[in-house]
Structures are given as C-alpha cells and as structure tokens.
Structure 1
Amino acid sequence: MGRAEERRARQHGGRRAAAMPSSGGKPRRTGIRRFVNWKTIIGTFLGFCLLGMGAFVVLYMVVSIPQGNAAATQQSNIYKYSDGSTLARTGKVNREIVGLDKVPKAVQKTFVAAENKSFYKDAGVDLKGTARGLINTLSGKGKQGGSTITQQYVKNYYLTQDQTVTRKLKELVISLKLDRQQSKDDILAGYINTSYYGRNSYGIQAAAQAYYGKDASELSVEQGAYLASLLQAPSQYDWGAATDTGKRLVTARWNYTLNNMVEEGWLPAAQRATMKFPVPQDPKGVPGMEGQTGYLVDAANSALANRLVAQGSAANYEDAKALVDAGGWTITLNIDKKKQTQLEVAVKTKLTGKLDAKKRKVDGDVEAGAASVDPKTGKVVAMYGGEDYFKHYVNNATRRDYQPASTFKPLIFAAALDEQAKTQDGQDITADTVYDGTSGRSVKGSSIGFAPPNEDDQDYGDVTVQTAMNKSINSVFAQMGVDVGMDEVLKVAGKLGMDTKGVQAVPAQTLGTMGASPLEMAGIYATLDNHGRKVTPAIVASAEHKDRPVDFPNPIGDSVISSQAADTVTSVLTGVVNDGTAQVSVAQAVDRNDQQVAGKTGTSDNNKSAWFTGYTPNLVTSVGLFGEVPKDRKDSAGKVVKQGTQVSLKGAAGGGRVNGGGFPAQIWAAYTFNAMGSVTTFDLDTTQGAAMAPTTTPTISDTPSETPSQTPTTEPPTSEPPTTSAPPTPTSEPPTTPTTTAPTTPTGTPTDEITPEDPFNPDNQQ
C-alpha cells in the first residue's frame, strides 16, 4: 500500500471513530427530539389541567345565579302584512305555574325517567354531556343531548337558548350552585313549569289542557309520559301535526320513558304491561288565529325558525322555535292583503260555496290549498291553507303528502331540454318530436318494466310532445322520462325546487307519484316563469328583535336551467291552456282579456288530488284539492276509515270525477285574472312550442303505432278532460293518518292497473 492510500485510510478511520459514541454513552438527540419527550408531554398536559381547573375556580367565584331572564316570561309577537298593517298579535302567555304538590308523584317521575334518571343523585351536572356539548358547539354541530334536568332548567329560566361556549360554561356553574341552594323538588317544579311543550303551551298545566283538556293534577302516568317525551322535540312530536316518522319517534320515546320507570322501581312491571299510548286531543287554535290567519302565522314562524338555524342563531329547529315563541318579534310577511282576500274569495265562490256535506258525504272530504308567488321577487303574495285554521290544523298550502300527478310532466320536458336528451332512436327531444301515444305501451330502454295506461285507456297514436302535453298523455312522458334518464329528471327537478330526497328514480315517477305541496309547485313553476333563475318562495320579508338580528337571503338565485329550456317549457304550457285540459276553465274565462297564460293540470291516483299550477309573466299560483276523511267513520262494509285517510274527490259538489281542469283551474282563473293587474305577454327565448309559430317539421321518435291517429298539427282543440277513469283495483289498506297529520311523503302507493312487471306503476293520471 502506498503512502497516499495509507493516509486516506487513516483519515477515513478517524472520521468513523469520531462518529461512534464512546463506550456507555447515549446518542445525541437532533431536531425536535431535543425538546419533546414523554416528560415534557406529561408536564404540558398537567399544566393545561391545572390551568383549566384554576380558570374554572375563578369562573365559579365570579358567576352568580342571576334573576330569571326575559325569555322565561314570553312577550308578544306582532305580524304584519306587506303594507305594514297588522295581521295578528300573539296574546297573553299561555302559562300557569303550579306547585309540585299539584302534579301526581308518578307523573313527576315520568319527567325524570325521560330526561335524567340520575336526577335525584347527581350534583346537577353531567360533566361528560357538558364536555360533549362544548366540543359540538366548537365544531358547529349543535347540541347532542346529555344535559341534566337542572341544566335544562337553568337554560330555560336563567340563560338563553344560544349555543355558545360562554353560555355552556355559565350553565355548568349555575347548575352546580343551584343544586346546592335548592331542593330537587324545587328544581323539578321549575323545570316542568318553564319548559315549552308546543301548542303555545308553557308549563305542565297549560300543556295538560292543550293536549288532554284537563288539569295537571288529573294526568295519568301514560299522559304524563307523553308530555315528558314531548319536551325533546315539541314541534316534531305533537301528535296532531306529526309526520309518520314523528309519531314513530315519540311513541318510541314514550316506551323508553315508561321502561325506565320500571327499571328505577317507580312503576310496577305488571301495570306497565297494560298501558296504551294516550293519543292527545286535536289542537285548538289560539284566539285571533281564525280563518287564514293561523296558517299565515304558523308559516311565518316556521320560516323564521329555519332562518335562525341557517344563520347559526340556534342549533336546531326546536331551539329556534323556542326563540320565536319566546316573543318580542315584529315579523313582516310578504303577503299582499288585497291578493290574500282575492284568493280567499275565489276559493269560496268557485268551490267551498258549492259544497254541502249534509247532502253529500264526499263534500266534507274536500280540502283546498293554494299558494301565489311573484316570480320576479320570490315573494309569497297570497296563501290559502284551508277553510279555517280552527277546523283543519294542517296548512294545505304547505303539506306534502299528496301526489302532484301530471303537474310533474313539465319537469320531465324541462330535463329533456336542459340535458339535450335524445330519444331511443337518437332524435333530439323538442316540442315537435313525435312519440307513440298508445295507451299501455311498454317503455323502451328501461330495466324496469313499465306500461302506463292513458286516462280512460285512450290511444292517441303518433303525437308531438306539444300535443302530448296538451292532452297529458301518460305513455309519452313515461317514455320521455326513460329517454332522459330518471336520475337526470330528478336532478333537474331538484334544481328547480322540488324536494326529491328519498324519491326513487323509477319510471313510475313520471306520473308525479312523489309528494309535493302547492307552495313547492308554485316555486318550481316560478323558476320556469323566471327564465330558469331559481325562485325560492319567501313568506317572510323581515323579522326584527331587539336582541337578535336576522337577515333573509334573496329569494331569487342563479340560473339552474338554461333560459331556452325554461322558456320552451313555458311556450309549450300555453298550449295546455289554449288547446288542452285547462281550456274551458282558463282560456275561456270571461275576464281573461286575452292574458297569456301557461299552466298544467294534474289529477292523481284514484282522484285523491286534483291540481292546476299556472302562471302569467308576473304571477304564479298553484291550487290543489285533496280528498281527506275529516273524522273517523265507517264505510259501507262497516270497516272503520281513520281520520286523515286519503280518499277520492269524485262526486264532490254533485259532479263526477274532479279533474285539475275543473275546480282547481276555475279557482286559479277567478283569482289570477282579478289579481294580476294589467295584461302582460311572455318574453320567451325560444322558437318552439304553442306560443311560437312552427318553424320545423316534427321529428318522429320510436316505432310509429300501427294505426296512426290524425296528424297532430291538424287535430282540433280539446274542450274538457275526460270525466271517468278505469275502475280501481286496490291492493293495500287505506292509510290511518289523522286529519292534522302533515307527513312529508305521500300516504299509500298508487295501485290501479298495476302491471306485473313494475310494482311502482300507478293508475292513469292526468
């Protein structure tokens, strides 16, 4: 080895030796490891714990038990029309404080069993629940339960419903102090007397009267358990206005409450086994809420509560509703006083004035609902909820449990246009596209067999989309829905404003078998009227409160479908009025004065609902008629038909089948032509449809029928829709929902003329 190699070897060996630790030494820490080890982690954690404990001690010393807050003594709310005149004012607070000695012992225990089984043993707080609440508040998830009765009482009486970290910490401290200063009986009495039970009832005495028509001292254990269960969600769990889901949930909570009582030894198991759910009495209106007033006030309260949740002023709807019901609000509605009166008069003159339940049982089953919207502003200018808020608690303008039927067909066409869909043979879908209108024709391109009949099983042969819309031909729109793709149809329907959550994307939905409300349909058609810009109907213009600023978003949003698609649908819908199913009631109305109108009729399964949704350039109104049993009764076979069951409208006012082109269209015309002001014309960005001069030759889609009908463009206008339908073949029991129920989905499934291939196929609808 040369000298150079020896030198390099010595150098390398030296470096390696320097890098090696000496015998028994420890490796040096580098980077962040020089500062962080298990000792520093534990030390930091203990430091934070000591800091938190110190902060809590300071907080405990600083925070004292305050006087009862203003929210514990409800104020009045003032409701105004759009012109500033007074619509309504909430009256005296519906609360009567009663001593715990006036509440049966077993009923007292129902509240403890429902909300806080450890109430008699705890120190007034649930540390785990409070910690969870703080975390959820910080993360924006709202409350998740876990509060003791003491904490809930403190929130009700001493603090507010606000979901803030400061409020939660104060609640914790005050609860600890209150538990040391007051007896458990005093706290329980305060809790049941300050809680809100719904139905404008504050405290157990008012609740006992509102739900069971008796004093708190007369409540049974079953009734007490219902009232205790109600406190978790009074709006959702009020049996008189609950959805099927709400009824199921409150029944489950009622069972949970009673089972807890057995578990705690407060109720004998044998007695528990004999108990039945105590259905409360129907709601009764508050004085001053008669007629349409109650419907308008409830709709305004609901809109305000939803807005409080949306802007973060309340964690959920129940908390927001408590803030609204606590009072102190001045709420201005968008309701136009004059138009509201005109709508009420139209319903009375064209419908309710002709009904006589003493002569015809079916006349007592007729319920009407309507909503009118300004498409330029989104304001709800008029609403009809029912003949009287005191007679029918549910608002027919906002209920969603009846099928909109063929008023859904324009949404299928809108989806076809906006998605630039093609027929099965590759033709663009336009107003002039020709489809096979044969009744009962099986749709092509669907994995689910579907062959819907037309009304009266009528065959139309080859027809254009325009004619199919005019005559409301089921077989055409069933095929169009498959051509577009039902997923796409529902997507566009959702963008237009329909609540499609949970709706199955099956061909049967082309017949409008989902649930919808007149207010919802008015908003959808208003979006079409507004050239595709989204219109979200707004009933509240403003809400003022000294402690709570509220801002409402602009009801007019961005474009959700193209203006060409929206305007083409409008153009086609003028044909329904001039040459189709609404011709007699609307086009030929004496006071029309050549006003241009677009609209669509709808008549649902077994004639349980009938609709007309129509519009001028400045006013959109949807009118629905619903068949509903007002009270329990027996049918011809002696079987009990439950209150709220959906039934046929056929024979109402001494006529036959109630079509959308009948009473609904008549009400619409009587109201609209009186309320619209000057005559206006649609400004449409389209070359298609009945409102435009034809520019193209119809394109033929699918296989023509063997016996074509006469050419669609030369077919004379229809006058009235058919008045009979194929006999029904019921396959399911009627629903048992009470008249005050407002479910969010249709009750029952259409069953007439069901084909074996498709369990979702309803009967013919127009």
Structure 2
Amino acid sequence: MGRADARRVQNKGKKPKKKGIRRFFTWKMLLAYFVGLIALGVGAFWALYLYVDVPGEGNPAAKLQSNIYKSSDGKQIARIGDVNREEVPLAKIPKDVRYAVIAAENKTFYTDPGVDLKGTARGLLNTLMGRGKQGGSTITQQYVKNYYLDQRQTVSRKVNELFISLKVQDKFSKDKILEGYLNTSYYGRGAYGIQAASRAYYGKDVDKLSVEEGAYLAALLQAPSQYDWTAATDAGRQNAMNRWNYVLDKMVEQKWLDPAKRKQMKFEKPGDPKPSEGLKGQNGYLVEAARQEIIRDLIKEGRSPKDAEQDFAAGGWTITLSIDPKRQQALEGAVKNQLLDHLDPKAREVDGHVQPGAVSVDRKTGKIVALYGGQDYLKHYTNNATRRDYQPASTFKPLILVSALDHKSQTQDGKSISPATIYDGTNKRPVVGPGGDGYAPENEDQYSNAAVTVQEAMNRSVNTVFAQMAVDVGLDKVKKTAVDLGMRGDGTGFDANPSMALGSMGASPLDMSGVYATLDNHGQKTTPSIVKSASRGGKDYQLPDAVSKDRIVSRDTADGVTSVLQGVVDDGTANVVQNAQYQVAGKTGTSDDDKSAWFTGYTPDLITSVGLFGEAPGGKQVTLMDTGGNGRVNGGTYPAKIWAAYTSNALDDDATAKFDLETSEPAAPVLPSKPSAAATPSASASHSPSPSRSPQSTPSGSASHTPPSHEPTAGPTRHTPPVTPPVTPPVTPPGPTDGTDPRPNGGRATATTG
C-alpha cells in the first residue's frame, strides 16, 4: 500500500475542511457574529447615552420671537409673535385637563419609560427614506423636541431626542415633564403653552377650563390650524369634533372620566381670535396668507403639519411679500367703488352679508401682486381670498374642457370633443353613460336648445352640456385634471360625480387664480405665491418656483381653452369686461340660490379671481339676492365689475395686447340659437346636425346657468368690440332658480349661473 492509499484510509470518515471564504460562515461563527453585533450595538448605544447631555437651557425657539412682514418695497407691514406665552405651574392646571392631554397624546405616560423605541425607529426609517412625517413620540419626547431641540426632521435630531428623553426621564419626575410639555406645546393662534391657549380660545385662565374645553385644547395639539374652529373648513371642523370625542372616550377608557358624565357632554365652540391692532384692514389677510404659504412649504420639505406650524410660530422669520402697493391700492379701490359704495346694510339686510375676496397674480412670475381678504381683518377674521367653503360654480366648467382636450376624449357616439362639437343642451336632459346615474341638471332660466356647440355652451354656461361632457371624459379623469391644475381634492367636498360640472365642491379665489394662471402660462403649473423672499436667523430660505418648468397639460390644450374663454368675454356672460386695449379670457360663475358669485379672468399679463360670498353671522351661507337693491347677483355683475375696474388700473398702459396662442382646436360654427323654456328633456345620446353645423355631435348634460336675459344670445364666436367696462353694476332680472342647497361637502346642486 502506497503513502497516498495510506492517507486515504486514515482520513476515511472525516469531513473535509472548508476552504476559502466558507470557513468564516460556520454556524458557530455566525452565532459569534450575531452576539458580537448585539454587543457592539449595546456598546454604541451606551456610548451615545454617555456622550449626549441634556442641554443646560432651552433652545432659542422655545422662547417665542417675532416674525416680521414687509411689503415688496421694503416697508414693514406687521411684527407678529411678541411673546404669547405664560408659564403656569402644574398645580394651576385642572387634573381633568391634564388627563385630557395625556389621553390625546400618550395614555401610558405615567407608566412608560419616556421613549417609544418602535415609533422612534419608524421615524428614523421614514427620515432616511425621505418620507419626513412620523408619529409615535411620547409626551417626554415631544417635550424634549419642543424645549431642547427644534422641529427639523433629521436623523441627528431624532437620535438626540431619544437619548435626551432617556436622561430627562431619569432626571425629572413625570409631573415635571408634563408641566414642561403643557407650557411649551403649540396650540395655534400664536399660543405657546396651555395658559396662552386658554386665553386665545376661551378668554379665561387655564384653571377655569371645563373638561369639555380642556378636551378641545388637547385635540388641537394634533393639528392646531386645521382644528381651529373659526378658521377650519367643514371637513376640518368635523375632524376636530372627531378628535374631541376621541379624547373624551380615551379618558373614559382610562377611568379618568365617568361614563355617565361623558354622555351628557356637549361640544362648546371656542371664541373668535382677537388679532393684534397692527393687523387691521388688509394687513391681517396678507400676513395670514404668507404664514399659510411658509407652513405649506415646510410641510412639503417633510415636516408634519403640527411641527411646521410650531416651527413657524416660534418666530425669527423676516418675510417680504410680493404685494405691489400700487396694484393693492387699485384692488381695494375697485372693491370699494364697484361694490361697497353700493351697499346699505341699514336699508337691506343682505348688504350686511356680502363678503368679497380676490387674488391677482402676475403671469410671468406667479407672484401674488394684490389680495383682498375682506373689509377688515379685525372685524372679519376669515380670509375671503383663501377660504374654501363656497362653491366656485361655473368657473369650474373650463376644467372639464381642459380634461377633454388633454385626454383627446370622445362623446358617447365616438366623436372627438372640441370647441366645435355639438351637444344637446336640452334643459333637464338626463346624463348618459357610466356614472351619469340619470342626473338631469337644470339650465339657467330654463334655457333649452337641442343643438349647441361647446363654444356656445361655454359662452352661455349651459349646465346639461358640461355634466354630459364630464361623463364623456371620465369623472375620475376630470377630477385628477382639476387637482393637477391646483384645486384641492380633499376636505372640500370634491366628489367625482356629474354635479362637479356645477362646481359643487369648495374652492377659494387663490385656488382659482392658480388654475387659470396655469392656462395663461400655456399649461405650465402655476402655484401663486405671496412670499417674495424669506429669511431666518440671517439665512435665506429657498422658495420653490411659483411657475413650474413642467407642463400639467399640453400647450395646445391650454391655449385652446384660452381661446374658448375669450368667447365668454366677447359673446357670453362676461361681456362686461371687454377692453379695447387688451384681450381678456375668463369665466363667470354663480352658485345655486346666489350664495356665491365669481369672475375669474386673465389677460396676457395678469390673472385675477374675484369671489362674492353670502355669509350671515355665525358663518351661515345665505343668498346674495338683491345685494345693492339690484335683484339677482351673478358672476357678470359685481365680480366682473370689480375685475374690470381693477385690471384697467393695474395694467395701465403696460398691457400686452394679445395672447400668444398656439392651438389646433377648430373654431366653433355659428348655429341658429332658438332656446325654448318649454322644451322637453331629451334622452337621446346624439342628434344629426343640419348641413350648416359641424359634423361632430354628442349628448350632454351640465349644471350651470345661462346668462341673464339682458346679455347677448347669439353672434360670432370671436370679436373684440371697443367697449370699456361701465362703473356701475346693471340691474339684473330678479328671481333665483329653484334647486337643492349646494354644500361644499358634497350635496348635489341643481343649477348654477354662468
């Protein structure tokens, strides 16, 4: 037997040795690696724990500073935020109020270790992945963030928050931590700490708060501005109520509140805020719009709404507004001359219910050059320029056409939709197609015409046409187009149903100015901005572009709709705004029962949206009928008059005369107009046009009103007569149409005026 054979016999039954990298991955080695990794992690954790110290004092942001606002020429408008904080000992805060906050934010506060490792890990992961927003922090962690750190969403801040919280938990008692948290949290209305919040919302010291009031303040901690009863939308108020109920139910669950007493509790509305005298007139509205914009941008950077609000309220900002003093004066003068001077609340109750709002945007920059929020911020806290609780009515109709053109949509019988397409405009005609559900809107003044082009339907704001068009395009597609253009898709009652053709959702003049500015900018997304520049602590804040380089819709689509909206001015409901010096495109709108009236229009240089809202004391929406003693109020009266007077002064001699349009959309043919109020609804999906009409045809249904009888009813689709806007509103025919009460949160309206 040779040596090789001998070795084979000797090694028989033995496992071969692993060679190369495999020798490092035996199960024993893997176990050792795992144990070593755990030990390394524990060691690193302990090292960080020893390294991170509790700061000796709170950060500067924990001591409220001022925010300074300036106009575009550098003059100071307002200084806001001069210490609205008053620390109180825990003993002064009623125990029920303390329990309400604990129930809302961290029900295991008195038994937990002060940190939520799972929530913190989730927050770190979200931050690393760029998601920004995170939740799950304990009251201890929130106190540390408020008092020792800041509101930025960074990995280092979250790590510091974790270790400082562990040390604070060891250093201070739970009651001391709770006291610090209650005195440093932000509750909205510029109020830091629960004492300031109690004064801001209920006008009383914290020790006088009831359980119900304390539960509302606790609810505010989740979303201060959104849950502020005075400024909140209907959806925001409902969410605030839900949160209030949640707080009280959790108190019952923790045995901090008697169930029988809980059942008897009713929500007590907080009082209106008391703004600083420095915010009188338009100043308060301008400042509030700028505040909302900065907070919106901070949220886009990844901060939660609560953190963004608290960070901004901490102060230290210097904000220069884009408001042009000359144009601001022109807008205020137009509202006064064309509306306010015609009102007499002593003679007519309705005149005391009129709330005007307007926003004007420079096309090239996307900056807001003038804003009108109401007659006086100190008398009417709600900003009419940014409120979203009224329907935009027929000013929404162009968005349906935008969606139709951009999606190259077809009618039910397969014809392409264009300004020349012929629809059935029969009054109360049922909508045909998926999602129509037999919806049969009423046309203004019972207008009824079995053959009407899209152009003429836009001129007259024929409801049945646009309700049908919305179904033809696809309800979800229409809604997506509208949201992409700048409308809010949530919290405003924006439902994807045919009644959206009436503009049955909620929208603000700010929203509509952005939508129409995008059209004026040939489809480039325009998000109106009132902030020209902003800085904090000597560092400039990078503002997002107001006019995006990206197109939301094609230029062909945007320019095609602009061309159609010129027809509304030349031959339709907005003929009062015609001007010999420059071209105008726009759309009127009036909601059912005249609760809101609109005109949103634009020139090649300037976009302005004017809204008129009927608001009785308590915020109830009421009709504008007989405002100024002039009967029906629609978009072609006061809103259009304000728009025309303002625009002519704001542009002066610097106006670009014509739109620069590039569109392939065919012009609409001129059809004989023979509307009949007695015509019966038609259920047919299409009709055969006469030889003189476009070969395109399609069914239709919509929800807006045609112009009042004093407006033109026929004529060519484009001309620009040398007419300057009159300075006094005309007397319009009385008599609103019957229909359901339109609600921003979703009720199906029956008719709106163009």
Is TM (by shorter chain) over 0.5? yes
Question: 2:455, 2:717 within 8 Å by CA — same for their partners in 1?
Answer: no
Tell me the residue number matched to 2:604.
617
Q: Give the Cα–Cα distance (whole angstroms) in 2 for the partners of residues 121 and 711 of structure 1.
A: 75
- Residue number among 445, 468, 472 corresponding to 2:461 in the alignment: 472
- Residue number among 427, 432, 436 corresponding to 2:420 in the alignment: 432
- Please state if 1:702 is matched with 2:697: yes
Spell out, residue by residue over 1:338-378, the C-alpha distance to the aligned partner (whole angstroms, 9 max, x if none): 21121112112212232233322222222211111111111
Q: TM-score, normalised by structure 2?
A: 0.85
- Please state if 1:606 is matched with 2:593: yes
Q: Residues 479 and 171 from structure 1, CA distance in 2 versus in 1: closer, same or farther, beyond 3 angstroms? A: closer
More displaced 10-residue stretch of structure 1: 31-40 or 160-169 = 31-40
Question: 1:424, 1:702 within 8 Å by CA — same for their partners in 2?
Answer: no
- Please state if 1:207 is matched with 2:197: yes
- Residue number among 658, 662, 679 corresponding to 1:685 in the alignment: 662
Q: Give the Cα–Cα distance (whole angstroms) in 2 for the partners of residues 627 and 469 of structure 1.
A: 25
How far did residue 213 of structure 1 move? 0.7
Question: 1:601, 1:660 within 8 Å by CA — same for their partners in 2?
Answer: yes
- Please state if 1:497 is matched with 2:515: no
Q: Give the Cα–Cα distance (whole angstroms) in 2 for the partners of residues 440 and 491 of structure 1.
A: 27
How far did residue 387 of structure 1 move? 1.9
- 3-state SS of the aligned residue for 1:234? coil
Q: Residues 92 and 704 from structure 1, CA distance in 2 versus in 1: closer, same or farther, beyond 3 angstroms? A: closer
Q: Give the Cα–Cα distance (whole angstroms) in 2 for the partners of residues 121 and 46 of structure 1.
A: 31
- Please state if 1:541 is matched with 2:496: no
Spell out, residue by residue over 1:419-453, the C-alpha distance to the aligned partner (whole angstroms, 9 max, x if none): 34444455444433333333223344455223322
Tell me the residue number matched to 2:566.
574
How far did residue 237 of structure 1 move? 2.1
1:350 partner amino acid: Q
- Residue number among 630, 653, 656 corresponding to 2:628 in the alignment: 653
Q: Give the Cα–Cα distance (whole angstroms) in 2 for the partners of residues 195 and 281 of structure 1.
A: 20
Question: 1:161, 1:323 within 8 Å by CA — same for their partners in 2?
Answer: yes
Identity among equivalent pairs (%) = 57
More displaced 10-residue stretch of structure 1: 72-81 or 228-237 = 228-237
Question: 1:412, 1:477 within 8 Å by CA — same for their partners in 2?
Answer: yes
Tell me the residue number matched to 2:161.
171
More displaced 10-residue stretch of structure 1: 243-252 or 315-324 = 243-252
Question: 2:571, 2:714 within 8 Å by CA — same for their partners in 1?
Answer: no
CA RMSD of aligned residues (A): 3.5
Q: Residues 321 and 465 from structure 1, CA distance in 2 versus in 1: closer, same or farther, beyond 3 angstroms? A: same
- Please state if 1:552 is matched with 2:552: no
- Residue number among 337, 347, 367 corresponding to 2:335 in the alignment: 347
User: Which of structure 1's runs of 4+ aligned residues deviate more than 6 A?
Assistant: 18-23, 687-694, 714-722
- Residue number among 212, 215, 229 corresponding to 2:219 in the alignment: 229
Q: Give the Cα–Cα distance (whole angstroms) in 1 for the partners of residues 15 and 668 of structure 2.
A: 91
Q: Residues 295 and 147 from structure 1, CA distance in 2 versus in 1: closer, same or farther, beyond 3 angstroms? A: same
Tell me the residue number matched to 2:127.
137
More displaced 10-residue stretch of structure 1: 544-553 or 511-520 = 544-553
More displaced 10-residue stretch of structure 1: 151-160 or 126-135 = 126-135
Alignment of 1:337-416 (within 5 A): 337-416=325-404
1:321 partner amino acid: E
Tell me the residue number matched to 2:53.
64
1:223 partner amino acid: E
Q: Give the Cα–Cα distance (whole angstroms) in 2 for the partners of residues 688 and 697 of structure 1.
A: 19
Question: 1:378, 1:555 within 8 Å by CA — same for their partners in 2?
Answer: yes
Q: Residues 114 and 693 from structure 1, CA distance in 2 versus in 1: closer, same or farther, beyond 3 angstroms? A: closer
2:510 partner amino acid: L
How far did residue 94 of structure 1 move? 0.6
Q: Give the Cα–Cα distance (whole angstroms) in 2 for the partners of residues 445 and 271 of structure 1.
A: 53
Tell me the residue number matched to 1:5.
none
Aligned length: 706
Tell me the residue number matched to 2:680.
none
Question: 2:415, 2:698 within 8 Å by CA — same for their partners in 1?
Answer: no
Structure with bigger gyration radius: 1
Gap runs ≥5 in structure 2: 672-690, 701-711, 724-729
Gap runs ≥5 in structure 1: 1-13, 632-643, 736-745, 752-761
How far did residue 257 of structure 1 move? 3.2
2:439 partner amino acid: F
- Residue number among 658, 670, 673 corresponding to 2:648 in the alignment: 673
Q: Give the Cα–Cα distance (whole angstroms) in 2 for the partners of residues 424 and 764 of structure 1.
A: 25
Q: TM-score, normalised by structure 1?
A: 0.84
- 3-state SS of the aligned residue for 2:641? helix
Spell out, residue by residue over 1:595-649, the C-alpha distance to the aligned partner (whole angstroms, 9 max, x if none): 3211111111222211111111100101111222223xxxxxxxxxxxx232221
Tell me the residue number matched to 1:452.
441
Q: Give the Cα–Cα distance (whole angstroms) in 2 for the partners of residues 125 and 451 of structure 1.
A: 58
Spell out, residue by residue over 1:118-145, the C-alpha distance to the aligned partner (whole angstroms, 9 max, x if none): 3334443333433333333333334533
Question: 2:589, 2:752 within 8 Å by CA — same for their partners in 1?
Answer: no
How far did residue 668 of structure 1 move? 0.4
Q: Give the Cα–Cα distance (whole angstroms) in 2 for the partners of residues 249 and 713 of structure 1.
A: 50
Q: Give the Cα–Cα distance (whole angstroms) in 1 for the partners of residues 161 and 698 of structure 2.
A: 72
Tell me the residue number matched to 1:292.
282
- Please state if 1:750 is matched with 2:748: yes
Question: 1:403, 1:609 within 8 Å by CA — same for their partners in 2?
Answer: yes
2:571 partner amino acid: D
Question: 2:453, 2:669 within 8 Å by CA — same for their partners in 1?
Answer: no
Tell me the residue number matched to 2:238.
248
Q: Give the Cα–Cα distance (whole angstroms) in 2 for the partners of residues 646 and 311 of structure 1.
A: 36
- Please state if 1:321 is matched with 2:335: no
- Please state if 1:160 is matched with 2:170: no
How far did residue 688 of structure 1 move? 6.3
Q: Give the Cα–Cα distance (whole angstroms) in 1 for the partners of residues 289 and 608 of structure 2.
A: 17
Q: Give the Cα–Cα distance (whole angstroms) in 1 for the partners of residues 568 and 616 of structure 2.
A: 32
Q: Residues 412 and 171 from structure 1, CA distance in 2 versus in 1: closer, same or farther, beyond 3 angstroms? A: closer
More displaced 10-residue stretch of structure 1: 323-332 or 266-275 = 266-275
- Residue number among 704, 728, 732 corresponding to 2:738 in the alignment: 728
Q: Give the Cα–Cα distance (whole angstroms) in 2 for the partners of residues 539 and 210 of structure 1.
A: 27
Tell me the residue number matched to 1:109.
99
Q: Residues 22 and 326 from structure 1, CA distance in 2 versus in 1: closer, same or farther, beyond 3 angstroms? A: same
Tell me the residue number matched to 2:502.
511
1:253 partner amino acid: R
